[in-house]
DNA sequence: GAATGTAATTGAAGCGCTTCACAATATACC
DNA sequence: GGTATATTGTGAAGCGCTTCAATTACATTC
């Protein structure tokens, strides 16, 4: 930077001003300095800047599992909001390992990031906030944390939406597939389903716990249902996840005695690629991943700009129903 | 850090030594200093360290598209190698946008990262290397670049593997689906297929260009093939991607006059989740994503440790054939 | 033309660490 | 005991920037 100053015939501080506060510098000086910068191929040193300024203008996003596109969507939403304020975003992948979550958080705090967005592993609590050196932190996809902003999705409402949709198209013998004890969001979804069922007099609900929510589990359950006498089959199935629904559709759809959706209508959850690539496209509940990221970033920027006046908010976003052929012929 | 030194009753430099070169410090001093560190909740400032030391110990990975699990695998492989040398890894998502690729590279160079791993957008060239301030850079999944290390996969061999497999199970009327003009890797795969076909006297090859390689295109092509007279149908199909193969399997598999794999065997490419979640699991060519990341990180670390003696390497990894039910009954 | 105000520029003082020449202390050997 | 050799510990210099009080240049106004 000194070389740039010398070459442009100005002082060190002026170069800094050209870079950070151009409105404070005269037009002609800006040009001189910028010419010198490009002639010298000057690359500013952010480490020095972060040190001198006490904070960087980069925000770190720690993601529980990058192989899950839901989280990638959040990152994308966060980035688009950050870009508007020309703030940089870097990511770190927790890869479902608790130790990496901790080390990634440490890393970003040590780098004196302007702020951190964290999509935590299940079971996050406010202990993740301790040890922080004042770096603002917003939680993604987790509502149950005090002492910080959180942005999450209303899973109970998602379950309610799915069930209401099935009830609306005349289904009365509903089946929920997925283990509510396995994950809090699944339990929430089930509660929403139960609420919807309670609202309709002659509707019934059966719950079948699957060990996981993969396609394989859906197929197993599919064979089970196909082997039942017709009268004991459900006429509407709410799967706790799209892959589970996919497995169900694969098996039930290839049974000649069962028509989808006439005999059995099926809904998934998440709006995975699996849902729309299926031979029978699957009705699903779409989670607003990008929106989560965008809202969280907005909250974080607000906290960064006004750390004193900031009050922690808990934003809950609504999922939406995406109707496809697995519940409704087009 | 000064406070830590004071509290531990040692000099500033000693605290630094405890953190960076504990072997130079006596056992008792280490303990004193560490106690002070934890009592004071001291969080080292990496910005200052990077400035003073002239380089950080974190490596930046710029990924063309994080929603593609192939790239996420690379990141994972890179991280696991970096972790062995306790080097940190942060990611940036290009999200298929050229401008973001440039800005992410800038960012990492300005941060004075120890090195950069870049999975570039199609059409990368060595211009991405100019303007770099000596930051070592290794290209992922791209072979055609001079002046830097590259790690890529042998797509020609992948195509050869797929075709050889079909020929080995007795198929002679092969069909390649996918547009070689659309992407260089697809053209490479086709070349491999052609080579394999040339090696077998009575084998023939038909090429059908699909606009894209999505499931939808596979379905369209599937209907086309199903409508042909039996004698004009291929008995082996090599799809340029798994989703394309999935679409084919969905349509051909539900046609009562066609059995998979007896009448038509189908291979995909990439080993996507789509391939193994299919009702008929799809034979595919697996790309060693994690290995690409691991090898690239190893090369990068080598270059960082010995910038002078380093010679750029072009590592080409081999894909592997994964046989599933779409070509072979189990 | 002097007084006043505003805009542009300067340069020195740090930011929190690493590094390194040097000093202090301990250990080994003759 | 004295000298050489490790082993530890010290603290000042400086990494490349931001910031800000102080200075200078230039326009207005009366």
Summarize pLDDT for B23-37 with one digit per residue, the tens.
888 898 899 999 999
What is the mean pLDDT of the segment spanning B302-310? 91
d(CA A272, CA A20): 43
Written as one string, the DSSP assignment of A177-198 is ES-TTT-HHHHHHHHHHHHHHH
- Counted residue by residue, chain A has a size of 330
CB B174 within 8 A of CB B237: yes
Q: Are residues A202 and A78 in the same domain?
A: no
The separation between the first and the last C-alpha atoms of chain A, rounded to the nearest angstrom, is: 64
| Strand-pair partners of A89 | A59
pLDDT of residue A57: 92
The helix (run of H) or strand (run of E) holding residue A10 is: none
pLDDT of residue A193: 98
Q: Are residues A181 and A279 in the same domain?
A: yes
Interchain contact, A51 vs B46, CB within 8 Å: no
CA of B13 to C1' of D8 (A): 12
- A325 within some domain: no
d(CA A219, CA A223): 6
Summarize pLDDT for B101-125 with one digit per residue, the tens.
999 999 999 999 999 999 999 988 8
Summarize pLDDT for A142-155 with one digit per residue, the tens.
988 889 999 999 99
Instruction: Give how far Cα A50 sits from Cα of B2, B50, B268, B310, Å.
Output: 19, 10, 48, 31
Give CA torsion, residues A165, A166, A172, A173, to 10 deg.
Answer: -140
Instruction: Give how far Cα B322 sits from Cα of A207, A251, B37, B158, B270, Å.
Output: 37, 24, 52, 11, 10
B205-242: string of b/e by CB count within 10 Å (b at 16+)?
beeeebeebbbbbbbbbbeebbeeeeeebbbbbbbbbb
Summarize pLDDT for B125-134 with one digit per residue, the tens.
888 887 556 8
Q: Is A240 on the interface with B (CB under 8 A)?
A: no
Q: Is B11 on the interface with A (CB under 8 A)?
A: no
Instruction: Give residue B41's pLDDT band: very low, low, confident or very high (50, 70, 90).
Output: confident
pLDDT of residue A282: 96
Q: Are residues B164 and B263 in the same domain?
A: yes
Interchain contact, B277 vs A243, CB within 8 Å: yes
Question: Which residue among B72, B76, B110 places its CB closest to the CB of A43?
Answer: B110
The Cβ of residue B177 has, within 10 Å, a number of other Cβ atoms equal to 27
- B327 within some domain: no
Q: Are residues B178 and B233 in the same domain?
A: yes
- A249 within some domain: yes
A201: left (phi over 0), alpha (psi -120 to 50) or beta: alpha
- A184 within some domain: yes
Percent share of chain B, pLDDT over 70: 99
- B201 within some domain: yes
Kindly list the residues from chain B whose CB atom is less than 8 angstroms away from the CB atom of residue A268: none
pLDDT of residue A14: 92
pLDDT of residue B249: 95
Whether the pLDDT of residue B327 is over 90: the answer is yes
What does the DSSP 8-state code read for residue A258? -
Nearest CA to CA, how far is B122 from chain A (Å)? 21
The helix (run of H) or strand (run of E) holding residue A124 is: none
Counted domains in chain B: 3
Contacts of A295 (CB under 8 A, 6+ apart): A77, A151, A315, A317
Q: Are residues B39 and B121 in the same domain?
A: no
Question: Which residue among A67, A95, A112 places its CB closest to the CB of B69?
Answer: A67
d(CA B62, CA B300): 14
Asked if the Cβ of residue B19 lies within 7 A of any atom of strand C, the reply is: yes
Summarize pLDDT for A27-86 with one digit per residue, the tens.
988 999 999 999 988 999 999 999 999 889 999 999 999 988 899 999 999 999 999 999
* Touching A: B residues 132-161, CB under 8 Å: 133
Whether the pLDDT of residue A329 is over 90: the answer is no
pLDDT of residue A132: 59
What does the DSSP 8-state code read for residue A159? H
What is the mean pLDDT of the segment spanning B41-63? 92
d(CA B179, CA B210): 6
Nearest to A49 by CA among A89, A23, A71, A16: A16
Kindly list the residues from chain A whose CB atom is less than 8 angstroms away from the CB atom of residue B41: 131, 133
The Cβ of residue B96 has, within 10 Å, a number of other Cβ atoms equal to 14
Percent share of chain A, pLDDT over 90: 79
What is the mean pLDDT of the segment spanning A161-168? 98
Nearest CA to CA, how far is A20 from chain B (Å)? 15
Which of A287, A304, A325 delimits the end of a domain?
Answer: A287
- Average per-residue pLDDT in chain B? 94
Instruction: Give me the residue label for tokens 């009830």.
Output: A167
Question: Which residue among B90, B250, B277 places its CB closest to the CB of A90?
Answer: B90
Instruction: Give me the residue label for tokens 């003696």.
Output: B309
Q: Are residues B165 and B147 in the same domain?
A: no
- A324 within some domain: no
Q: Are residues B82 and B147 in the same domain?
A: yes
Nearest CA to CA, how far is A167 from chain B (Å)? 29
Give the strands of the sheet with A173-177, arranged side by side.
Answer: A204-208, A173-177, A236-239, A265-267
pLDDT of residue A243: 94
Q: Are residues B178 and B270 in the same domain?
A: yes
d(CA A226, CA A233): 8
d(CA B271, CA B290): 13
Name the E strands within chain B: 58-63, 88-93, 115-119, 137-140, 149-153, 173-177, 204-208, 236-239, 265-267, 284-286, 314-317, 320-322
Q: Are residues B215 and B280 in the same domain?
A: yes
Please give the backbone phi and psi of residue B104, each rounded to the nearest 5 degrees, phi first: -65, -40
3-state helix, strand, coil in chain A (%, to 5): 45, 15, 35
Interchain contact, B277 vs A246, CB within 8 Å: yes
Domain CATH code at residue B34: 1.10.260.40
More confident residue, A131 or A178: A178
Instruction: Give how far Cα A118 sits from Cα of A61, A153, B96, Å.
Output: 6, 15, 24
The Cβ of residue A31 has, within 10 Å, a number of other Cβ atoms equal to 13
- B89 within some domain: yes
Whether the pLDDT of residue A318 is over 70: the answer is yes
Domain membership of residue B16 as a residue range: 2-44
Please, where are the H alpha helices in A54-154?
Answer: 69-84, 98-110
Q: Are residues A240 and A221 in the same domain?
A: yes
Q: Is A146 helix (H, G, I), strand (E, B) or coil?
A: coil
CB B79 within 8 A of CB B294: no
The helix (run of H) or strand (run of E) holding residue A255 is: none
Summarize pLDDT for A132-141 with one digit per residue, the tens.
568 999 999 9
Summarize pLDDT for B187-243 with one digit per residue, the tens.
999 999 999 999 999 999 999 999 999 999 999 999 999 999 999 999 999 999 999
Q: Are residues A176 and A281 in the same domain?
A: yes
What is the mean pLDDT of the segment spanning B274-303? 94
Q: Is A224 exposed, middle or buried (0-12, 13-18, 19+ CB in 10 A)?
A: exposed
Q: Is B99 on the interface with A (CB under 8 A)?
A: no
Q: Are residues A192 and A217 in the same domain?
A: yes
Q: Which two tokens stand for residue A110?
A: 């040590």
Domain CATH code at residue A212: 3.40.50.2300
3-state helix, strand, coil in chain B (%, to 5): 45, 15, 35
Instruction: Give me the residue label for tokens 């996050």.
Output: A124
Q: Which two tokens stand for residue A68?
A: 């899950």
Question: Which residue among A66, A95, A110 places its CB closest to the CB of B46?
Answer: A110
- B301 within some domain: yes
Instruction: Give residue A273's pLDDT band: very low, low, confident or very high (50, 70, 90).
Output: confident
């Amino acid at each position: 930077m000194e070389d740039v100053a010398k070459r442009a015939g100005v002082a060190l501080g002026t170069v800094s001003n050209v870079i950070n506060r151009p409105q404070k510098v005269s037009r002609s000086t800006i040009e001189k300095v910028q010419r010198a910068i490009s002639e010298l191929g000057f690359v500013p040193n952010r480490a020095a800047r972060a040190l001198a300024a006490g904070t960087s203008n980069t925000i770190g996003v720690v993601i529980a599992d990058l192989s899950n596109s839901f989280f990638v969507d959040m990152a994308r939403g966060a980035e688009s909001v950050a870009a508007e304020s020309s703030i940089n975003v870097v990511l770190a992948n927790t890869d479902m390992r608790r130790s990496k979550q901790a080390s990634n958080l440490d890393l970003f705090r040590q780098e004196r990031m302007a702020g951190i967005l964290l999509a935590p592993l299940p079971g996050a609590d406010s202990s993740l906030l301790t040890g922080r050196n004042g770096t603002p932190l917003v939680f993604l996809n987790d509502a149950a944390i005090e002492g910080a902003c959180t942005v999450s999705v209303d899973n109970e409402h998602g379950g309610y939406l799915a069930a209401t949709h099935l009830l609306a198209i005349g289904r009365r013998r509903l089946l929920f597939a997925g283990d509510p004890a396995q994950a809090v969001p699944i339990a929430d979804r089930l509660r929403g389903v139960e609420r919807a069922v309670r609202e309709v007099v002659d509707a019934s609900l059966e719950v079948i716990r699957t060990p996981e929510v993969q396609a394989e589990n859906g197929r197993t359950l599919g064979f089970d249902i196909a082997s039942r006498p017709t009268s004991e089959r459900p006429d509407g199935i709410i799967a706790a996840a799209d892959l589970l629904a996919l497995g169900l559709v694969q098996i039930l759809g290839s049974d000649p005695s069962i028509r989808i959706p006439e005999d059995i209508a099926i809904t998934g959850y998440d709006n995975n690629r699996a849902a729309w690539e299926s031979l029978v496209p699957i009705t699903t509940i779409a989670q607003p991943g990008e929106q989560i990221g965008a809202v969280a970033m907005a909250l974080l920027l607000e906290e960064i700009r006004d750390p004193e006046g900031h009050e922690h908010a808990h934003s809950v976003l609504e999922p939406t129903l995406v109707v496809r052929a697995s519940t409704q012929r087009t």
